[in-house]
Homo-oligomer: A and B are copies of this chain.
Amino acid sequence: MARIDGRNNNELRPVTITAGFVDFAEGSVLIQCGGTKVLCCASVEAGAPKYVPQGTGWVTAEYSMLPRANRERSRRDISRLKLSSRSAEIQRLIGRSLRAAVDLAALGERTVTVDCDVLQGDGGTRTASITGGFVALALACRKLLEQGTMTKDPIRHYVAAVSAGIVQDELLLDLCYSEDSHAMVDLNCVMDDGGGLIELQGTGEGRSFTIEEQRKLVSLCSEGIRSLIEKQKEILGD
């Protein structure tokens, strides 16, 4: 079975990360993974939520799709007065993933909010948000280091994410929208640069899956994430 865009089963879509896409955020990137485009902005504010130990900081994320990011226009959250449940689920995932990258004590009493706004969605928007959001977060930390308001880089390791899935019983890396909509199994993986798992979410969407299938999907993702972290390093100049 050939993939719709001719990729090999273990091949990522073309990835572009444009740093500094907007000027005001402490760190910002536009990440494109194939047809998916997400603007990730990291904003640093003084203070931390009260449920965090004194002296430590916090990293959180917000995720939203612009109304016409998809094939059909969707209504804005504000017009329905409800945060979409899907967005709520995704922004919790992004937040947990990015916090795993950071030494919150080294961050100090600051809150970094990483806004991930999907300009165009063609599958994999949550993983693109994590991969791009990490770069925005790292850029924001650098800015604080350069300004001298922070003395130690709180970034502990790189974090990136990708999805894999089973479509017509083939295991495919980095599903685009049309593949995703036919997937029987869909798995999102977030890893660090040591290959450690940070988040793993697998869903059977028409059938269940075996532990062996799950292992192979994680393995596919692991490869993909290695490449994505290479991209991140290029941008960050490491």
Query: A-side interface residues toward B, CB under 8 Å?
Result: 21-25, 28, 35, 37, 39, 41, 43, 45, 62, 64, 66-71, 73, 76-79, 81-83, 85-86, 88-89, 91-92, 96, 100, 113, 115, 117, 119-120, 187, 191-192, 194, 196-204, 207-211, 214-215, 218-219, 222
Question: Do residues A211 and B215 form an inter-chain contact, with CB atoms below 8 A?
Answer: yes
Instruction: List, sorted by A's number, 14 A–B pairs whose CB atoms are closer than 8 Å.
Output: A28-B68, A41-B66, A67-B113, A68-B115, A76-B77, A78-B83, A89-B89, A192-B208, A196-B207, A196-B210, A197-B211, A197-B214, A199-B201, A200-B203
Shortest Cβ gap from A129 to chain B (Å): 14
Question: Do residues B41 and A68 form an inter-chain contact, with CB atoms below 8 A?
Answer: yes
Question: Do residues A68 and B100 form an inter-chain contact, with CB atoms below 8 A?
Answer: no
Residues of B within 8 Å of A215, CB to CB, are: 211, 215
Residues of B within 8 Å of A91, CB to CB, are: 85
CA distance A73 to B215 in the complex (A): 41
Question: Do residues B83 and A82 form an inter-chain contact, with CB atoms below 8 A?
Answer: yes
Shortest Cβ gap from A102 to chain B (Å): 12
Q: Write the chain B residue with the least CB distance to A91.
A: B85
Shortest Cβ gap from A166 to chain B (Å): 12
Question: Do residues A66 and B88 form an inter-chain contact, with CB atoms below 8 A?
Answer: no
Known: A67-B62, A76-B64, A83-B82. A100 touches B24 (CB 8 A): no
Which one of B76, B197, B219 lies within 8 Å of A208 (CB-CB)?
B197
Known: A198-B204, A201-B200, A204-B196. A35 touches B23 (CB 8 A): yes
Known: A64-B76, A76-B64, A78-B83. A24 touches B70 (CB 8 A): yes
Which one of B45, B86, B88 lies within 8 Å of A73 (CB-CB)?
B45
Residues of B within 8 Å of A22, CB to CB, are: 37, 68-69, 119-120
